[in-house]
Amino acid sequence: MIFTSYEKVFLLKWEEDVTLRNIDEFKAAMNQLIESDSSDLILNFKEVQYVNSAALGTIADSVMTARKNQKELVIVEIQPPVQEIFNIVKFGSFIKFFETEEEGLKYFQRETND
């Protein structure tokens, strides 16, 4: 996992599938992302081909926690197998997705300029 800050945007690049083996590490990383000083948060899933149900719950909880704290979490670079899972559980109804990290960053820059 890699944390990066771009001006006011804080990004977590998760670089492996999320399974029982690493779910606690994923939860800790998501908590760190949510607790950052930034209100604009990006989760990059470029290297992720699989997420288990615990990961789905962690992502959903993180989105809701972010909102309660006047923050927004978006997900970028979702691979087709994970996108299919996200579609099945209807994540698109409450989380914004972007094809590239650059699009996610531009989304938050546009929000600032509006």
Q: How confident is the model at residue 2 (pLDDT cuts 50, 70, 90)?
A: confident
Cβ contacts of 28 within 8 Å, gap of 6 or more: none
Instruction: Taking residues 26-53, report their average pLDDT.
Output: 97
SS3 18: strand
CATH superfamily of 2-113: STAS domain (3.30.750.24)
Which position has the token pair 């992302």? 33
Query: Can you give the pLDDT at residue 3?
Result: 77
Helix, strand, coil share of the chain (percent; to 5): 45, 20, 30
Residue 76 has pLDDT above 80, yes or no: yes
What average pLDDT does the structure give for the chain? 94
Parse the chain into domains and list their residue ranges: 2-113
Residue type, 70: Q
Q: How confident is the model at residue 7 (pLDDT cuts 50, 70, 90)?
A: confident
62 CB neighbour count, 10 Å cutoff: 22
- pTM, whole model, 2 decimals? 0.91
Which position has the token pair 């990066």? 4
